């Protein structure tokens, strides 16, 4: 990074007391954020871990979590990009209101999100009868679990992509246009490519949020092994039956998420 | 075959209102100070800024007529923008091939054309580099190659040298001359740099505050600049006034009432005129000159600059004057700020032409 | 002056409750000083963890118990029995545990004095009031969406056993749309009309929006009831006060309140 010399000079200029305070706060933050993860790992019953993990329900839940989180990333990308584009590139009255509204699912209490989804897409929801006549049923289905995960995770995609779009020099798009590029080619080769890190961050955040999603899913889609019981739901059920299994599953979830996050934003995390 | 422009563009702070034509073969250079509307003009030509009214025609095709407009991508204009605007995440080769791909060339053919232009500009070795990793001179060549690879009808170069450091300029200026000479379409260069303008131009278009103040060959403008910017461009003293003549002599009277004697002229009495005198034609002295110079003004020194072995003296003596004298003369005069000084020049050195 | 002190908040973790109580006590002292009154007597707290289905009944018991035991404050945390048992196993501080089934009490047996059953409850099948389902057998029809508590939830475990006893489980199982982590989840799915039928406690069905649900009882002879055990924790802050509360629940006044709320005698 070109800025490194400047930023390190700035940090060296900080007076000692400020450095001590910042260092102490950083240490506290690290303890708060990292210690629970380590503690969870320490509590896991490693001696018979394999036997516990290879119970049929566990692998079902893992597979389902993969399907649901990946599908909701794809869906979030397909739906979040147009919204991010409208927010970043169009000026119209009510844009800030629209931004607030589409980001709202981030702050919904878990169950409220699920009830909201039921109110909209449940069989007695606003779209319920329309969807029924089309033969679509979301509650208690994997599709419903995907919708729930997308509902809560798509805002992360929108936020990332919007800031990414804003950071692209729009004159690059002008330059591409003078070189004969069509709108689609500009979108594909200049905009999407220019999104780079923002796209990676958006995918990572969305995927992580979808993977850990619990409240909206249990409320909207219920919990059915192999259909809607994702890893977090399985962990929640197991914790009251066998804490060891639950912790092990939790560790699996965390380790899996960490691996994917590292792979997606390796440059950012390892720099 | 030509570029014909007659446009009005409304910007928040000013209006660009200009008409000109560029013929094939000639290198037309639009020169003007910062804020004169050069970038707006480029943007309007490329179809990136809407017109308030007017027409742009290229080789008989109407690109813009009032509000109806041909999309930027269909204009066949190759623009090299002031800050190049290379696509930072692509390689040099991908940048240069971009236009050909956009026009529907296969990856292979586009790549071949891109290589051809990179070689032509002497940067074939850069093909695999990231565009964001280039130096200013390299980026400028890549931008040029990118525009040329599309084989446009009109090549627009916006400040092609200004982003480069001094050492890189002569080499690129030579290359630019070569490329422009062999380019078959219409050529338009935009610059704020007088030297670059004079060096490249077959024809100069002087843009001032949104309008074309003067069009002409560099030589014609050198001899008869119209307006303060054109005068400073060619480095002469320019005075606005009105011609007053009687039986014995001709005078140029400025708005402040200063009178300049000129040699005989065939312009009519009361003609609004420009009068110019070259800085080297001006004599300086501490005492009132006893020479045959017909024009003499008392004033004081405002600035003294060393310039290429000459000394440039700016004075305030009625109008503002710039004189160029030898260092020896400057030493003899012992010039410092506010030194009282006499400015004088012969009536025959004052060129007078109608406004 | 007691009334100046706001009613204690329900806090799941005993440690936090103590701190909160401390803050309240200080606030109470300050209020008393400001008004020129005597200091309130020191207050003792009984921390009770109770199954979610006991909420209404235990809140009524708290109100009946506290006037008889001055300076004692009953603080109840309600949650699914399985959640409470897990919290206790993870070290949560409490004085009394009232579980909705013996399995969850069994998980914490090592932490408790001998439990005693204080009530029983039984499960019922619930449907929306306008449902066409009129019998338990109707749950086996293809396409009926049945919502149960998960295996770890007492009501869910008992429901499975009961269906099995009726030899209906094999044909109902394919209809299971969801295994909810608690009875509230089952109730909500039926109330919102997403599920066609669910299984909850009779007391839950009675409490939930009257008129919107219909309850179908299991036939006589099918074991569909659950015993509610209560026990004092071994590390109770005062086993004397904790035992007083348990005796109150098991005794005449407590039993009367439980009956009012639909619970049956153990």
- Gap between the Cα atoms of C172 and C141, Å rounded: 8
Task: Report whether pLDDT(C174) > 90.
Answer: yes
Per-residue pLDDT tens for B169-223? 888 888 898 999 999 999 999 998 887 888 889 999 999 889 998 999 988 888 8
- Mean pLDDT, chain A, whole residue set: 87
pLDDT tens per residue across span A83-137: 999 999 998 999 999 999 999 998 888 789 999 999 999 888 899 888 888 888 8
How far lies A75's CA from each of A107, A155, B253, in Å?
Answer: 20, 12, 78
| Residue B14 to residue B9: CA distance in whole angstroms | 9
Residue A45 phi, psi dihedral angles, 5° rounding:
-80, 85
Task: Give residue C41's pLDDT.
Answer: 56
- Point out the least confidently predicted range of A240-244, C218-222, C235-239: A240-244
More confidently predicted of C178 and B223: C178
Sketch out chain C's domains with CATH numbers: 44-120+227-260 (3.40.190.10), 121-216 (3.40.190.10)
A48-268: CATH class: mainly alpha
Distance CA B59, CA B152 (A): 11
**By C-alpha distance, which of C225, C224, C124 is closest to C164?**
C224
Do the interacting molecules here have an ipTM over 0.90?
no
3-state SS track over A82-146 = HHHHHHHHCCCCCHHHHHHHHHHHHCCCHHHHHHHHHHHHCCCCCCHHHHHHCCCCCCCCHHHHH
pLDDT band at C8; cut points 50, 70, 90:
very low
CA–chain centroid gap for A85, Å, is 19
Give residue A46's pLDDT.
87
Query: What stretches of B55-200 show up as alpha helix (H) in DSSP?
Result: 92-102, 107-120, 136-149, 169-182, 194-200
pLDDT greater than 50 at residue A271: no
Indicate yes or no: CB of A118 within 8 angstroms of CB of C192. Answer: yes
Distance between CA atoms of B40 and B49, rounded to whole angstroms?
7
Measured in whole angstroms, how far is the alpha carbon of residue A8 from the centre of its chain?
32
For A175, the closest of B71, B85, B101 (CB atoms) is B85
Residue B63 per-residue DSSP state: E
Residue of A nearest to B151 (CA): A179
Contacts of B90 in chain A (CB under 8 A): 189, 193
pLDDT of residue C207: 80
Mean pLDDT of all residues in chain C? 83
Chain A residues closer than 8 Å to B77 by CB? 178
Q: Which of these ranges, B148-162, C5-19, C63-77, C159-173, has the smallest mean pLDDT?
A: C5-19
Partner-chain contact B89 A185, CB within 8 Å: no
pLDDT tens-place string over residues B296-348 = 888 899 888 887 778 888 888 878 888 988 888 888 888 888 888 999 998 88
Nearest to B301 by CA among B281, B277, B280, B285: B285
Closest-CA residue to C191 (of C172, C175, C205): C205
In chain A, residues with a C-beta closer than 8 Å to the C-beta of C152 are 237-238, 240-241
In eight-state DSSP terms, residue C193 is: T
- What is the dotted CATH code of the domain comprising B3-232? 3.40.50.300
Instruction: Give the C-alpha separation, A253 to A207, whole Å.
Output: 12
> What is the bridge-based pairing of β-strands B320-325 and B272-277?
unpaired
Which residue shows structure tokens 């109470």? C28
Looking at the DSSP bridge assignments, the partners of residue C112 are C233
Tens-digit pLDDT profile for residues B209-246: 899 989 999 888 888 888 888 888 888 888 888 988 87
What pLDDT score does C25 carry? 43
For the stretch A47-85, pLDDT in tens is 888 888 777 788 889 899 999 999 999 999 999 999 999
Q: What is the pLDDT of residue B85?
A: 94
Listed range (A255-269, B108-122, B288-302) with the worst mean pLDDT: A255-269
Residue B9, burial from CB neighbour count under 10 angstroms (0-12, 13-18, 19+): buried
Q: What is the pLDDT of residue A77?
A: 96
pLDDT digits (tens, 9 = 90+) for B16-59: 999 999 999 899 999 998 888 998 999 999 999 999 999 999 99
pLDDT (average), residues C142-152: 90
* Shortest distance, CA C194 to any CA of chain A (angstroms): 6
Q: What is the pLDDT of residue B268?
A: 82
Q: How far apart are the first and last CA of chain C?
A: 40
Contacts of B166 (CB under 8 A, 6+ apart): none
At residue A3 the predicted structure's pLDDT band, cuts being 50, 70 and 90, is very low
For chain A, which residues lie within 8 Å of any Cβ of chain C, measuring from their own Cβ? 115, 118, 122-124, 139-140, 218-219, 221-225, 228-229, 233, 236-241, 243
Q: Cα–Cα distance between B219 and B204 in angstroms, integer?
A: 10
Tell me the residues of B at the A interface, defined by beta carbons under 8 Å apart. 46-48, 71-75, 77-79, 81, 83, 85, 87-90, 98-99, 101-103, 146-147, 150
Model-level pTM?
0.75
C-alpha A214/C-alpha A111 separation (Å) is 9
Burial level of C171, CB count in 10 A (0-12/13-18/19+)? Answer: middle
CB proximity list for A100: less than 8 A, separation 6 or greater:
none
Given a cut of 80, is residue C4 above it in pLDDT? no
pLDDT of residue C184: 84
Q: Encode B24-39: b = buried (16+ Cβ within 10 Å), e = exposed.
A: eeebbbbbbeeebbbb
Q: Which of B153-157, B241-245, B282-286, C66-70 has the highest mean pLDDT?
A: B153-157
Class of the B236-354 domain? mainly beta
Tell me if residue B295 falls in helix, strand or coil: strand
What residue ranges do the domains of chain B occupy?
Answer: 3-232, 236-354
Instruction: Name which residue leads in pLDDT, C209 or C103.
Output: C103
Per-residue pLDDT for C208 more than 80?
no
Nearest-Å Rg of the Cα atoms of chain C is: 21
What's the mean pLDDT in C16-34? 42
DSSP state of B269: T
Given a cut of 70, is residue C1 above it in pLDDT?
no
Calculate how close chain C gets to A120, using CA atoms only, in Å. Answer: 12
């Amino acid at each position: 990074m070109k800025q490194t010399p400047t930023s390190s000079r700035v940090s060296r200029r900080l007076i000692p007391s400020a450095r001590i305070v910042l260092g102490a706060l950083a240490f506290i933050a690290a303890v708060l954020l990292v210690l629970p993860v380590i503690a969870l790992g320490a509590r896991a019953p490693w001696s018979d871990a394999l036997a516990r993990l290879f119970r049929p329900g566990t692998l079902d839940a893992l597979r389902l979590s993969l399907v649901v989180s990946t599908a909701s990333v794809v869906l979030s990308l397909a739906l979040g990009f147009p919204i991010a584009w409208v927010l970043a590139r169009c000026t119209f009255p009510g844009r800030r209101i629209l931004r607030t509204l589409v980001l709202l699912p981030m702050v919904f209490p878990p169950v409220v999100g699920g009830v909201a989804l039921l109110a909209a897409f449940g069989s007695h929801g606003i779209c319920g009868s329309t969807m029924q006549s089309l033969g679509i049923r979301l509650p208690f289905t994997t599709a419903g679990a995907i919708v729930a995960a997308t509902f809560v995770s798509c805002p992360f995609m929108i936020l990332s992509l919007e800031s990414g779009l804003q950071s692209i020099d729009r004159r690059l798009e002008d330059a591409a246009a003078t070189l004969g590029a069509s709108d689609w080619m500009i979108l594909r080769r200049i905009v999407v490519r220019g999104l780079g890190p923002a796209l990676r961050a958006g995918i990572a955040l969305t995927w992580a949020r979808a993977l850990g999603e619990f409240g909206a899913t249990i409320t909207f889609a219920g919990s059915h092994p192999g259909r809607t019981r994702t890893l977090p739901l399985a962990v929640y059920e197991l914790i009251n039956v066998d804490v060891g299994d639950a912790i092990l599953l939790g560790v699996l979830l965390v380790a899996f998420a960490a691996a994917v996050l590292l792979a997606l934003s390796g440059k950012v995390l390892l720099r | 075959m030509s570029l014909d422009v007659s446009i009005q563009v409304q910007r928040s702070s000013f209006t660009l209102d200009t008409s000109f034509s560029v013929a094939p073969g000639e290198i037309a250079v639009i020169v003007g100070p910062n804020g004169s509307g050069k970038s707006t003009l480029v943007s309007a030509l490329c179809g990136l800024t809407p017109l308030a009214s007017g027409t742009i025609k290229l080789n008989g095709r109407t690109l813009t007529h009032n509000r109806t407009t041909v999309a930027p991508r269909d204009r066949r204009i190759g623009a090299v923008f002031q800050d190049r605007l290379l696509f930072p995440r692509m390689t040099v080769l991908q940048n240069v091939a971009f236009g050909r791909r956009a026009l529907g060339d296969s990856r292979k053919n586009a790549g071949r054309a891109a290589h051809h232009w990179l070689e032509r500009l002497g940067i074939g070795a850069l093909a695999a580099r990231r565009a964001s990793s280039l130096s200013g001179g390299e980026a400028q060549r890549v931008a040029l190659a990118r525009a040329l690879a599309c084989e446009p009808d009109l090549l627009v170069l916006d400040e092609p040298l200004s982003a480069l450091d001094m050492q890189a300029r002569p080499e690129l200026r030579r290359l630019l001359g070569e490329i422009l000479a062999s380019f078959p379409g219409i050529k338009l260069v935009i610059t704020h740099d007088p030297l670059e303008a004079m060096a490249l131009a077959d024809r100069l278009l002087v843009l001032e505050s949104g309008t074309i103040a003067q069009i002409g060959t560099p030589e014609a403008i050198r001899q008869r600049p119209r307006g303060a910017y054109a005068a400073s461009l060619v480095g002469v003293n320019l005075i606005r006034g009105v011609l007053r003549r009687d039986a014995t002599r001709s005078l140029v009277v400025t708005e402040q009432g200063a009178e300049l004697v000129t040699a005989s002229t065939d312009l009519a009495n009361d003609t609004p005129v420009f009068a110019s005198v070259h800085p080297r034609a001006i004599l300086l002295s501490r005492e009132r000159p006893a020479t045959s110079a017909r024009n003499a003004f008392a004033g004081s020194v405002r600035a003294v600059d060393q310039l290429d072995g000459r000394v440039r003296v700016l004075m305030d003596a009625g109008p503002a004057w710039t004189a160029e004298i030898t260092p020896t003369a400057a030493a003899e005069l012992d010039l410092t700020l506010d030194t009282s000084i006499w400015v004088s020049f012969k009536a025959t050195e004052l060129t007078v032409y109608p406004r | 002056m007691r009334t100046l002190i706001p009613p204690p908040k329900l806090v799941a973790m005993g440690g936090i409750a103590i701190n909160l109580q401390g803050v309240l006590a200080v606030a109470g002292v300050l209020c008393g000083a400001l008004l020129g009154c005597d200091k309130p007597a020191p207050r003792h707290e009984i921390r009770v963890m109770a199954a979610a289905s006991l909420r209404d009944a235990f809140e009524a018991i708290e109100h009946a118990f506290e006037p008889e035991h001055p300076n004692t404050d009953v603080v109840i945390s309600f949650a699914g029995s399985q959640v409470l048992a897990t919290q206790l196993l993870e070290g949560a501080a409490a004085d009394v545990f009232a579980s909705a089934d013996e399995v969850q009490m069994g998980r914490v047996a090592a932490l408790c004095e001998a439990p005693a059953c204080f009530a029983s409850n039984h499960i019922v099948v619930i449907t929306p009031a306008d449902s066409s389902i009129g019998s338990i057998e109707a749950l086996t029809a293809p396409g009926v969406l049945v919502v149960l508590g998960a295996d770890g939830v007492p009501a869910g475990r008992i429901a499975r056993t009961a269906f099995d006893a009726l030899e209906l489980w094999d044909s109902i199982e394919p209809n299971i749309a969801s295994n909810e982590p608690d009875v509230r989840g089952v109730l909500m799915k039926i109330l919102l009309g997403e599920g066609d039928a669910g299984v909850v406690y009779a007391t839950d069905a009675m409490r939930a929006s009257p008129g919107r649900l219909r309850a179908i009882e299991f036939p006589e002879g099918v074991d569909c009831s659950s015993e509610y055990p209560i026990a004092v924790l071994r590390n109770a802050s005062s086993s004397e006060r904790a035992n007083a509360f348990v005796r109150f629940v098991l005794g005449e006044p407590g039993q009367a309140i439980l009956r009012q709320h639909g619970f049956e005698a153990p």
